[in-house]
Structure 1
Amino acid sequence: MQPRLADFIRDNTEPILQAWEDFARTIEPPALTMSDAELRAHAHQILLAFATDIETPQSDEGRMVKSLGLGAHGQGESAAETHAQARLQSGYTVVQLVSEYRALRSSVLSLWRCDPGGNVAVDMADMTRFNEAVDQALTESVARYEHLVKKSQNMFLAILGHDLRNPLGTLVAGASYIMQAADTSPKCLRMATHMFQSAKRMSKLIGDLIDFTRTHLGPGIPVETTPGDLVAVCQQVLNEIRTFHPARFVELRAPPQLDATFDGDRIAQLLSNLIGNALQYGSDVFPVRVSITSRDDAVLIAVNNRGPVIPSDRISGIFDPMVRVGASASAGCTERNSLGIGLYISREIVHAHGGQISVASNATEGTTFNVTIPRRLPKKWALTDTIVSLPVFLSSE
């Protein structure tokens, strides 16, 4: 004999759907502009799915899996997932979406309780299966809703970042032109310099934003590796950093040349992120130390600063997006130009090169970011290290 609740749902679809519609109509503002058909959207298919689920034999293991919200997903898109997408497009919040299932559960059980001739033993078994089916559908709806929201947010950020590049490029070019003009007055030159530096900072933020969204919308940060001198790339980055930091020292320990196969632009971005982070959170008294060495078929990059120690409970999440490492930094340290994704992007660049990145922080040695990437060259270079102390200057804003 089929479970009674499944037959009850099929025989009383209309009053159940009417109760669903009545509740959905109270959810404002979306319901104000929706038709009866839109308010009932997918509810009939969801109810039939409940009835089928109740009738389907279930093992103890299947019951346990379903209780964890991990029930098996059928072929194609479920009615609950389709409903979540439609509600999102209609302007429903996730709280409003969940409330519909709560109202649907209450409606079915209330009507069923008033149905004469029920069997207590059958009722309890059917009620359990029904609640499991509702929970499974709710899990599918919320998961699809969250996925679509995250995807739309990332797409918006990607489009925004892309569209901002052109007008920002115009600002950089215009400021550069004024700075190089022979007849520019000192006052205009000073203002053009500020504009140029601000535009370059904005350009970096937009670049980070685009990279962040790319890792969420696609396969990750793309790299195009070619043979090159890693030390030369590091020297170039240090020369650029001079423009943005006042009277700070960066100590570079590296061989005169270290050939490897890598994406030069991405490694420069990695070094800029790590060194910039070290300067931002490091002590003004001690230099930032950068070392580049080779070992076997790998290249090792270390960036050290003597700033505040990073608490051990924050180390594990330091490369997560939107996590700022400077919570305990000095009062003079500003984070206004940071999105909190620089270290996350650094990790993605390292992973794209097939490498690993880690961080260690203690009171004795300070904070050190260690990067290891494959060298991908058959010949091992063994060169004497040299130490170069580079002063870094920035005109005050």
Structure 2
Amino acid sequence: MKLSTFITSNMQEILTEWDHFASILEPERILSKKEIRDHAEQILRAIAVDIDTRQSPGEQLDKSRGMSSDKTATTGASIHGTARQGDGFTLLQLTAEYRALRATVQRLWFALGNELSPEHSADLIRFNEAIDQALAESVVTYSAQATLARDTFLAILGHDLRGPLATIALSGSLLSQPGIKMEAVATAASRIKRSASVMNSMVNDLLEYARAELGGEMPMTFATADILDICQAAIADASALHPNCPFLLDAPESTIGEFDRVRLQQVLTNLLNNAAQYRGDEKPVTMTMSSTAQSVMVAIRNSGALIPKDAIDAIFDPMVQLAITNEQPARAPTSLGLGLYIAKTITAAHGGTISVVSEKLTGTVFTVVIPL
């Protein structure tokens, strides 16, 4: 059987193996079947067509160099590279998908008793050329998307650092004026402290993100702590960054458990900052804490604009930012798009879960559940 015919005739079996391998690459992500298969079928059908398409020696050379004959064409492979970067796959995982796809097709094909006749050898050569071409297209678009995300991130960082730095500089200039009154000194000191807190929050987020991206484990120090104290400390931190936002805590009593106090406080502070940022009216941000014998649950609610349904799945990915509506204030100076990603990472390190519901009746509610 020709290899191209085998691919089109056994598409579902090949895709099933693709599904399984992709789920192994990202075991912590709950990927839908459609998301796992992504553009695999489109890639395979293009490969089958390529095997049966005559090519000149020059076209074969271009393909071996990863050069498409039509650089403006949007292929399944090019779309796949962009999508995988957005899904949080690493470049190594992307290339591993193609390695597995190559091995799967060849293994299943030979399992049917196909031998290496001259015709089959020619098919294999064309198949491997097509796989390499598809991989090259995916890597190009993956890298381009990663570069765009990095440049956007750096632009946001540079823009957001200028705000608190300017405040510190102006306050310092004010403090150096002769005859300054004590009331002005207290105001300037308060502004400097708030700006330093903003910058410290941004730097902490950068460090945690860099550690996660480099594959390092987030250091955790578990000790007996009261979750009520952690909630109160998180509200104090968020209030320093958002002095005009009222925060309310509804917690019946102390709840003792084994936590990394500093990290868990960072989770709750990030969620409170996010809620304050997207608060679209004068209603307060509320934090509700409850517990069972096994776990503690903290829910943080705001009544601002709802999160679009198509953005819910990506809300915890790094460098994801929601659009600000006319009903909302300007984007907070700590909005690097890392807070929710770091909150998810720390929560997972505690063996817990974090989720979000955004509906008209309830508002937007982020819920953290941590084992005691």
TM-score grouping bracket, smaller chain normalisation: 0.5 to 0.7
Kept in 2, the 8 Å contact 1:105–1:134? The answer is no
Cα distance 1:184–1:230, how it changes in 2: closer, same or farther (>3 A)?
farther
Cα distance 1:64–1:369, how it changes in 2: closer, same or farther (>3 A)?
same
Secondary structure of the residue that 2:307 maps to in structure 1? coil
Q: Structure 2 counterpart of 1:128, which letter? A: D
Secondary structure of the residue that 1:248 maps to in structure 2? coil
Q: Please give the alpha-carbon distance, in whole angstroms, between the structure 1 residues aligned to 2:59 and 2:321.
A: 38
1:289 matches 2:286? yes
What does residue range 47-196 of structure 1 map to in structure 2 within 5 Å?
A: 104-105=61-62, 127-138=122-133, 186-187=183-184, 189-196=186-193
Cα distance 1:358–1:329, how it changes in 2: closer, same or farther (>3 A)?
farther
Q: Please give the alpha-carbon distance, in whole angstroms, between the structure 2 residues aligned to 1:329 and 1:294.
A: 37
1:226 matches 2:196? no
Q: Please give the alpha-carbon distance, in whole angstroms, between the structure 2 residues aligned to 1:107 and 1:360.
A: 48
Q: Structure 1 counterpart of 2:131, which letter? A: Q
Secondary structure of the residue that 2:246 maps to in structure 1? strand
What does residue range 246-325 of structure 1 map to in structure 2 within 5 Å?
A: 246-325=243-322
Kept in 1, the 8 Å contact 2:197–2:241? The answer is no
Q: Please give the alpha-carbon distance, in whole angstroms, between the structure 2 residues aligned to 1:257 and 1:319.
A: 29
Give the stretch that moved more between structures: 326-335 or 221-230. 326-335
Kept in 2, the 8 Å contact 1:281–1:326? The answer is no
Cα distance 1:248–1:127, how it changes in 2: closer, same or farther (>3 A)?
same
Secondary structure of the residue that 2:203 maps to in structure 1? helix
TM-score (normalizing by structure 1):
0.54
Displacement after TM superposition at 1:185 (Å): 5.2
C-alpha offsets along residues 253-283 of structure 1, whole Å, 9 cap, x if unaligned?
1133111111101111111111111111124
Give the stretch that moved more between structures: 318-327 or 135-144. 135-144
What does residue range 6-25 of structure 1 map to in structure 2 within 5 Å?
A: none
Cα distance 1:127–1:352, how it changes in 2: closer, same or farther (>3 A)?
same
Kept in 1, the 8 Å contact 2:198–2:241? The answer is no
1:241 matches 2:238? yes
Cα distance 1:216–1:64, how it changes in 2: closer, same or farther (>3 A)?
farther
Q: Please give the alpha-carbon distance, in whole angstroms, between the structure 2 residues aligned to 1:357 and 1:310.
A: 16
Give the stretch that moved more between structures: 239-248 or 349-358. 239-248
C-alpha offsets along residues 201-260 of structure 1, whole Å, 9 cap, x if unaligned?
112111111111211212443321111111011112222333222343212111331111
Secondary structure of the residue that 1:242 maps to in structure 2? helix
C-alpha offsets along residues 285-324 of structure 1, whole Å, 9 cap, x if unaligned?
2221111111130111100111112222221221111212
Q: Please give the alpha-carbon distance, in whole angstroms, between the structure 2 residues aligned to 1:331 and 1:213.
A: 30
CA RMSD of aligned residues (A): 4.5
Kept in 2, the 8 Å contact 1:290–1:301? The answer is yes
Displacement after TM superposition at 1:126 (Å): 5.1
Give the stretch that moved more between structures: 280-289 or 326-335. 326-335
Structure 2's unaligned 5+ residue stretches are: 19-57, 66-116
C-alpha offsets along residues 47-93 of structure 1, whole Å, 9 cap, x if unaligned?
xxxxxxxxxx99957x979x9898xxxxxxxxxxxxxxxxxxxxxxx
1:213 matches 2:170? no
Greater relative contact order (Cα < 8 A, sep 6+): 1
Counterpart of 2:348 (choices 351, 363, 375) is: 351
Kept in 1, the 8 Å contact 2:316–2:340? The answer is yes
Query: Which residue matches 2:368?
Result: 371
Q: Please give the alpha-carbon distance, in whole angstroms, between the structure 1 residues aligned to 2:245 and 2:227.
A: 23
Q: Please give the alpha-carbon distance, in whole angstroms, between the structure 1 residues aligned to 2:126 and 2:188.
A: 67
Kept in 1, the 8 Å contact 2:248–2:286? The answer is yes
Kept in 1, the 8 Å contact 2:281–2:327? The answer is no
Cα distance 1:363–1:185, how it changes in 2: closer, same or farther (>3 A)?
same
Secondary structure of the residue that 2:354 maps to in structure 1? strand
Kept in 2, the 8 Å contact 1:281–1:333? The answer is no
Displacement after TM superposition at 1:326 (Å): 4.4
Q: Please give the alpha-carbon distance, in whole angstroms, between the structure 1 residues aligned to 2:225 and 2:64.
A: 69
Q: Structure 2 counterpart of 1:340, which letter? A: G
Cα distance 1:102–1:201, how it changes in 2: closer, same or farther (>3 A)?
farther
Q: Please give the alpha-carbon distance, in whole angstroms, between the structure 2 residues aligned to 1:247 and 1:195.
A: 17
Displacement after TM superposition at 1:194 (Å): 2.7
Structure 1's unaligned 5+ residue stretches are: 1-56, 71-100, 109-121, 376-397
Q: Structure 2 counterpart of 1:131, which letter? A: R
Larger Rg: 1
Q: Please give the alpha-carbon distance, in whole angstroms, between the structure 1 residues aligned to 2:215 and 2:355.
A: 24
Displacement after TM superposition at 1:351 (Å): 0.6
Q: Please give the alpha-carbon distance, in whole angstroms, between the structure 1 residues aligned to 2:233 and 2:120.
A: 71
Q: Structure 2 counterpart of 1:248, which letter? A: C
Q: Structure 1 counterpart of 2:282, which letter? A: V
Displacement after TM superposition at 1:332 (Å): 2.4
Q: Please give the alpha-carbon distance, in whole angstroms, between the structure 2 residues aligned to 1:364 and 1:238.
A: 25
Kept in 2, the 8 Å contact 1:307–1:329? The answer is no
